Every structure is written in structure tokens, then in C-alpha cells.
Chain A
Amino acid sequence: MIRNRAAKAISLGVALGALAAMMAPAPAAAKDVLIHAGTLIDGASATPRSKVSILIHDDRIAEVRDGFVRPGRGVELIDLSGATVLPGFIECHDHISSSGDRRPLNRFVQSEGDAVIAAVANARKEIEEGFTTVRDLGSGPLTAPAIIRAIEAGQIIGPRYWTALQAMGPTGGHSDRLNGLSPAISVEGRDDAIIDGPEDAVVKVRAHRRNGATVIKIMPSGGVGSIGDDPNHMTMTDAEMKAAIDTAHALGLKVAAHAHGKQAIDHAILAGVDSIEHGTYSDDESYRLMKEHGTFLVPTLLVADAIYQTAVKTPDRLPPTVAEKAIAVTPTMVGNAGRAYRAGVKIAFGTDQGATSGRNKAEEFALLVKAGLTPMDAIFAATRNAAELIGTPQDIGSIQKGRYADIVAVKGDPLADITVLQRVQFVMKGGETVKRDGKLLR
């Protein structure tokens, strides 16, 4: 199967290259824009700056200057002098084809078509909420590449995406779509998300990259929103993790590890993973290892809160065993975020919750602050830290010369009231104003 696809990909390679060149949008005439920022949280400095001018040329920031400079001829002025301006937010843990509806039947009912439609809606909502970069840690084999192409071609609006395509884990693990089902059942594509053995890990990581993955997601522990697997278990072997991580790093891809139990967390860190997602049952030793290895923690408090609320209020909407797991795991996840932060672990922002699920992704900021982060550090989690985790701080995560002009603005002071980040008034992505005065422009 994999071999056939590879052959096909090679034979189509030349034609595809030509096609991509044809499809790329023609660059518009060079454009200069000037933003007057009343208050600037630039994602680099630890304190806000007042009255700052941001000069933008085409899709990048050309200069950041103190004071409100006058626009030169042909320069468009965007007046945000009454607002707080920040770098576009970065979401490190998303599932772009998720609607947030966790009713048990959905996984059988929803097709690739539904996944794409959900992703289009999510992309629009994400950019509307101020997220200009999103790391998709699992949405199926075909959805993210299609959405990315459509955004690049200007057909739809959405953030910059990094995608893992599908998360990978062992037979019976969190990514096994057959968990809890009759053994007579099978589903197309299931094996693509399964790693059994280090050699299989190497092949699957390579295949993911070939199919468009720009980050690799592994599942070394069980999970909450799935049937039968235990979040406390380490479900992958050291050799499997090492093989996946080494292969990914050699190919220039970062690796995110879904991990709840301490053993899976610690072993993934030792195997060289770049981020621990969830990280529920970490302890002081885990934090020490993370600091030693520079590993990020992505606490995903919004999904924990969302599933917890569902488990308490409408448990019928969850598959069997999930409600019990959610009620057990959530309080620990919140406590872990605070402890890791105080221990000095690098925290990056991730919600694990589809944008169209009825919760604003920026609620994660408030949850991080509630867990013990300062508002500024919560903002750093979604800007410079997230950019560092993704691996492109030269492009995103701060408002500095040379970065993409990914810029948002809110009314009020987020350092005093973090919830103002849930009401983004202005969004610019790559120099294009997408949202102004609280309204999307297209």
C-alpha cells in the first residue's frame, strides 16, 4: 500500500511541481502599511511599550519604532492607537477537523468530506479569534494539506498551519481507531496511524512526511477521549519512541508526544521529544528532565475543561468510560500546569479543542492564569514560546523586524483582564488585514 503510493507520488512529482507553481497566488504590487499601536506587547520584551509604530512591507514587518511616525506617501495607516497590539496568537495543539462534538457515533458517521468542511469552518474561526498560526496535531490524512493549499491560494481564510496529519501510536493505544470495537470491524487507513516496532516507526514517520506532515505526533500513553486505553500506561516502547523521534529530527520535523502518565512523559523526554502534550501526571523529576532537555509542556486546559463540563452535565454525549476518565484527569491537569510553570518548565499554548466547538480558544489564556501563570507569561506561551516550539521564531511569535506581519489587537489591558484576549478586534496575517473593528473582512 505504502509502496504503491510512493511510486505514484514519484511519477507525479514533476507534474505536481509545475502545478504548484501555477496555483501560487500572484504577488500583488508591493504594499506598505503603518500601524500606530497605543500599547504594544511585542512577544519579545517582558513589559509592554507605549505608542509604537509598526512598519510593514508586503507580508513582513520592516521596522518597529517608538512614537507614532507619520505615514509616508502611498503608505496605509492603521490606527490602533487606542488598542493593545500583540503578535498573532499561536495554537500548538489543535485538531482542525474536530467539531468538539464527542458523541460516540460521530467517529463512525463522519467522512473525509465532513472533516474538510469542519476544517474550513475551524480555520475561519481560528483566524477570527486572533490565531494566526496553528499546529494541527491530528485531523486525518487528507484534510490539512487540502486546507493549507486552499488558504495559500486565497480561496478561504485561515491561519498558517503546521500539521501532523494523524497522530501515531501502538495497537490498542490512543490512536487505534478499532479500540473497543468488535474484532470483525475494520476501517480504511487505520494502520497509517499505528506504530508497532521501531522499524515500523521509521517507515510511518517517513510516510507521514511524504504525505505532507510538517510535525510528528506520537502517542506514548493512553488517553482520555478514547475507549479502553489507560492514560496512566506507557503504551509505546523506548525503542519505538526513539526511532520515531530520530527519524523525524533527521527530516527536520519536531515531535509532539501526547502523554498523561509519568512513565510515558519521562521516557518521551529522554527519547528527545520536543513537547509533552497534556503532561497530566508529571512530577518534580519530570520537570527537571524537561528543563534539562529543553522540552516544552503544552497543558491543554481548555479541552480538559470542555470534556469535564460534558462529563458532568451531559455524559450521554461521551463514549463509555470517557466521562469517568475525564473527571479523574482534569483537576490533575490544571494542578500540573501550575507546578510545571513554578518549576521553570517552558510552557506553550495549546487547547486541543476545535475552534467551532462553542468555546473561544483564547479561554486557554484565562485558564493558564487561573492555574498560576502571570498574564504576560500566558501571552508568551502563545507567542514567543509557541514560535520556539514550532521552530520558526524568525518568522512568527513576536512583533520585530523581519517577522511576518501577524498582528492582533484588543481593547483594554490583557495584563489586567486576561479575558479581553477573547474579544480580538483586529487581525492581520502576513500583512493582510483579515479582521477590523471586530468584523471579518471576507
Chain B
Amino acid sequence: MMLAAATPALAKDVVIHAGRLIDAVSNAPRSKVSIIIHDDRITDVRDGFVTPQGAEVIDLSTRTVLPGFIDVHDHVTGGGARRDRLRGTPEQAGMQSVWNVRAILKGGFTSVRDVGGNIEVLAALQDAVDRGLVPGPRLTISGPAISPTGGHSDPTNGIDPRWERADDWKMTVIDGPDEAIRAVRELRKRGAQVIKIHSSGGVASVGDDPNLQLLSDDELKAIMTTAHSLGLKVASHAHGKPGIDAAIKAGVDSIEHGTYSDAETYRMMKERGTYMVPTLFAAQEIYDMAVKSPDKLPPTVAEKAIAVTPTMKHNAANAYKAGVKMALGTDQLGYRPHGENAKEFEYLVAAGIKPFDAIMMGTRNAADLLGKTQDVGSIQKGRYADIVAVDGDPLGDITELQRVKFVMKGGKVYKQNGAMLAED
């Protein structure tokens, strides 16, 4: 990784004059602040507009400046190729991903945790982004999710058994702790930096029930122990309470979706510091599709979506009120073009979360869940210069975050005055 990182030709100091700064360190916005950047990192944050000698000034004095946003639950290889188990090829997913990550960066997201996609495509994509070949957010990747036979990511669910794939489409379909351990090790070997599991069934899949716990307690334990000992966090997709609670007890780092959580669940999460990632955008997206064009969804999915979505919104509000740590995740499935991740802020606020706290979910909390608070998620000394700006006041109108005017990642400006720079 160190070798692959792009090295700027000439070290140059840059200073951003921020009219208003939500730095994700303080609990209130600051006014008139200077952010001093050397190479790819922030070297100082000072009150007032100052200009160190020789520094290039970026004037954001009329704007609200924030840390680059972080989405901890996305599928950046999305589009038809990722969803289509039988027609999709890795080549298609690769091509699609290049467009997707550029759109995501354009939307102000400078870090994204991808929790499900072809691991080779994702590793290649991450490499290309890190080398500066492809404009995109910093990626943390899991590769395919671990699921039992018949679980949410068993690609043969609902498929006539006469169909077969010669590649390893069932690499992460495991049964028993031994296979679970092997899958974690295999994923890490291929480049995974986080492990994604499905402790319950899901919505956008055929035949599995979101209410049921599908990975057994000993499988969950084996996954957590192996992943944690290899320095990997574990994110568990879980809808039903049994799947949620079992994953928490086994030591999972985050619950994704978390639909049917209850007070006991929230208590356990607080006790153990487990994150909740509500993914309201995906819930809304699949709900809309179920209502408007159900034929585009596989059989049974529309019914599941209509049942699950309203409950997911309530869970987000309830978990928030209970004081559970929460991070922002959009779970973009590829039904819509990528790049609209900031809609999640709006959905979170609509569910009852304060705008400021919604922003924390997409910045410092997300960084904490990634285990990268020293690098991303806030505007303070030592962090990467991942910085965005909007025109108005997002605390007054959260949809401002969907109109990002300025994007910097690692000290490099990608978007200025609302437009991507030509070279990108």
C-alpha cells in the first residue's frame, strides 16, 4: 500500500479559508477557520483566516466546510453486473465500478466501506484509486459476504440446481465453524480489510427469511475470533432479533440494517460498543421499486421489502434515542445510479435524528467504526485532507449535503464550484 500510494510531485502548502466549519471534533460549528494542508494531510487548524507564506489559498469563506463523508455500507461494484448472478461478469463489474466510484467521490464521499462485491474487482479498484488512476473514495473492502447454505448470499438460492458456475461463486457459503474460519482467511488473503457476514436472512434475495438467525452461534464465534485475531472488523447484516442479538453476543463490530432490534438489543449494543448502521436509503429504494415496478425484482423480494422498510426507519429512531453508536451506510444495491449517498443524511433526519448527529454518523462515528479515526472522519491536525464544502447551512437544511460544491481528497481538489475538475 505504501509503495502504491501516489506521491505528489512537489510538496506545497495549501490553506482553506472556511466560512463555517463543522470539524467533527467540536460539538458545534466554528466560524472563520483556516485549515492548513501539507501534501495529503492537515497540519493545522487555526481560528481566523490566516495565510502562511507561499501557501495557496482556497477560498471557502462563504461556505460550510466539513470532513469528507464516509459511507460504511455500500456496494460500489453495483449495477446490473453485481446483482445478476448468472449474467454478470467481473469485467462488467470492473467497468461499472470505475464510473460508480467517481460519482460517489463527486457526491462528497471520500471514504467508503464496500461490504459485498467481487473481491478481485474490488482489490483492483482499490489499487487503481490508491495509485491515482481512478478518481474515487478511499476504500475498505470485504469482498463477498459469508453466509450459510441457503443464506442471504448463497448465489444458488432459488436457482434450478442444473445451473452451475465454474468460478468460485460459493466461496463464502459456509457450513460449520471450520469452513467459516477458512472463508475468513481466504478473504483476507485475497485483500479483504473487513469481514461481512449475514447472521440473518435478507430482503433483496430469494427464499431466505430476514427474521431468522441463519448463521449458528458457533459459526459466528469462529468468524469473530478468526477475523479479530487477523486485525479485521466484522460487520453483520441482520434484520431479525435472533440474528442481531447472536451476532452482538459473538462480538460483532456493527449491525447492518438492524430492523427488528428491541430495547434489549440496544442495551447489549451500548454495553459492548457495537455500532448500528441503519441503511435507510436502500430500504427506501427497494420499497419504491417494490411499489412501482415489482417486475424488476426477483420473486418474493417485493413482499419482503414492503414488510421491512417501515420497521427499519423506526429502528433507526429507536436506536438513536437509546443512545446506541450509529454510523452512516447507504447500502446502494445498484438499482439507481451511484453517487447519491448523501440522501442517507436526509433519511436519517426524517427518521428523527438531529442534523448534527446525522453528520457525525457520516464522519467521526463512521471513522471510529472503520478503526481509522487517526486518518479520516474529522478536520484536525494529522488527518488526511479529505474535505468537502456546501453552500448553505446543513444544520438548517440537511439536503444541502446533496449539493456538495467542493471535494478534496488527500490534499487534491477533485471538485470545485460544483464541477469535477477536467483532468478527472
Contact = CB atoms under 8 A, between A and B. Distances in A.
Given A182-B86, A316-B293, A108 B166 contact: no
Interface in B155-174: 158-167, 169
Interface in B120-174: 158-167, 169
Interface of A: 103, 105, 108-112, 180-189, 314, 316-317
Contacts of B160: 108-111
Nearest to B295: A316
B165 A111 contact: no
A317 B298 contact: no
Chain A binding surface SS class: loop
Interface residues of B, number: 21
14 contacts: A105-B299, A109-B158, A109-B299, A111-B160, A111-B162, A112-B162, A180-B87, A182-B88, A184-B167, A185-B165, A187-B164, A188-B164, A316-B293, A317-B295
B89 interface: yes
B296 A108 contact: no
A314 B162 contact: no
Chain B binding surface SS class: loop
A367 B86 CA distance: 37
Interface string B57-91: 00000000000000000000000000000111100
A108 B159 CA distance: 5
Contacts of B293: 316
B159 A109 contact: yes
Nearest to B167: A184
The residue in B160, B165, B166, B295 that gathers the most chain A C-beta atoms within 10 A of its C-beta is B160
B296 A316 contact: yes
Interface in B187-214: 206
A114 B132 CA distance: 51
Contacts of B296: 316
B220 to A, nearest CB: 30
Interface of B: 86-89, 158-167, 169, 206, 293, 295-296, 298-299
Query: Shortest 8 CB-CB distances between A and B: which pairs?
Result: A316-B295, A188-B162, A184-B167, A111-B160, A184-B166, A182-B89, A184-B165, A187-B163
B159 to A, nearest CB: 5
A309 B125 CA distance: 42
Contacts of A181: 86-87
Given A103-B295, A188-B163, 11 more contacts: A109-B158, A109-B159, A112-B162, A182-B86, A185-B86, A186-B165, A186-B166, A187-B162, A188-B162, A188-B164, A317-B295
Given A109-B159, A182-B86, A185-B86, A314 B295 contact: yes
Contacts of A112: 162
Contacts of A182: 86-89, 165
Nearest to A317: B295
Nearest to A318: B295
A185 B298 contact: no
Contacts of B162: 111-112, 187-189
A75 B89 CA distance: 69
Nearest to A186: B164
A188 B164 CA distance: 8
A360 B111 CA distance: 57
Nearest to B85: A108
Nearest to A183: B89
Contact of A105 (B89, B164, B167, B298): B298
Contacts of B89: 182-184
Given A185-B164, A186-B166, A108 B295 contact: no
A103 B295 CA distance: 8
Contacts of A185: 86, 163-166
A111 B166 contact: no
Contacts of B165: 182, 184-186
A317 B88 CA distance: 19
